[in-house]
Amino acid sequence: MKAVFFDLDGTLLDTLPDIHVCVNAVLKEYSCPAVSPDETRAAIGSGARALMERVLPSDAPLEECLARFRTLYAENSGEHTRVYGGARECIAELKGRGVKVAVITNKPHEATVRVAEKFFGTGTFDFVAGDSGDFPVKPDPALARYAALTLRVSPAETLFLGDGETDFLTAKNAGMRPLAALWGYRTREQLYAAGAREFIEGFDELLKYL
């Protein structure tokens, strides 16, 4: 493998607490029932629009709530977000081996760049992209393929690591090698049902896998 593409939420970072805070802030503003952390976790993975569609009552103003969520999350300091153990060391080792590293996520693009720089440092990744509106969200493979083209690696030489069903499907659709992370927001059973067959339980296993 000449490149490793990472999902962000639930793969490199545990962002659930901060996402949950912002979701419930929007729900409160629009007099909607609050959701639990588990309900927020289940709604994560397909982008901000899908997240809000899943947590809002059917009669809530989706576009207004979505815009408000984007604003609140862009302003969020990330004080409750944490890096999964071994992530930084793994990325450093990959870079030392000459492997390209990228972040491909459905998180809003501005927030993606902000948290990637905050928790991993500027310039750590060779490519960072979230949902900017320029590409369809995962599991559409367009952004992943564009990243591979930009980094001058073939999809067949690229490993895609993620914790969600959309990550496995993105890798499959893009012609990349899928690998499922078991420390994130989906269970082994959920990932297996989506088609995943190769799993790891920690970043040390990723280095051994490669």
Count of domains for the chain: 2
Domain identity same for 185 and 93: yes
Q: Which domain holds residue 21?
A: 16-75
Cα dihedral 209, 123, 182, 45 sign: negative
Residue 158: pLDDT band by 50, 70, 90 thresholds? Answer: very high
Residue 77 has pLDDT above 90, yes or no: no
99-117 residue pLDDT tens: 999 999 999 999 999 999 9
Q: Which two tokens stand for residue 196?
A: 């995943």
Per-residue pLDDT, 69: 95
Residue 76 has pLDDT above 90, yes or no: no
The model carries a pTM of 0.93
The residue among 59, 75, 91 that closes a domain is: 75
Domain identity same for 87 and 147: yes
Domain identity same for 69 and 89: no
Per-residue pLDDT, 202: 97
Residue 74: pLDDT band by 50, 70, 90 thresholds? Answer: confident
Domain identity same for 190 and 92: yes
For the chain, percent of residues with pLDDT exceeding 90: 94
Per-residue pLDDT, 187: 95
Per-residue pLDDT, 141: 98
The residue among 24, 42, 75 that closes a domain is: 75
Per-residue pLDDT, 78: 85
Domain identity same for 56 and 141: no
The DSSP annotation for 63-131 comes to HHHHHHHHHHHHH---TT-EEPTTHHHHHHHHHHTT-EEEEEEEEEHHHHHHHHHHHH-TT-SSEEEEE
Beta-carbon contacts of 183 under 8 Å, excluding residues fewer than 6 positions away, are 10, 84, 163, 201, 202
Task: State the average pLDDT over residues 54-80.
Answer: 93
9-30 residue pLDDT tens: 999 999 999 999 999 999 999 9
Domain identity same for 54 and 158: no
Domain identity same for 195 and 157: yes
Per-residue pLDDT, 66: 96
Domain identity same for 61 and 155: no
Task: State the average pLDDT over residues 127-151.
Answer: 97
Domain identity same for 67 and 137: no
Domain identity same for 48 and 65: yes
Domain identity same for 86 and 159: yes
What span, in angstroms and rounded, lies between the C-alpha atoms of 164 and 12?
A: 12
User: Which residue among the candidates 7, 9, 14, 167 is catalytic per the annotation?
Assistant: 7
Domain identity same for 94 and 46: no
The residue among 40, 55, 75 that closes a domain is: 75
Active site residue 7: yes
Cα dihedral 191, 93, 129, 41 sign: positive
Lowest mean pLDDT among 1-5, 72-76, 137-141, 194-198: 72-76
The CATH number assigned to the domain holding 36 equals 1.10.150
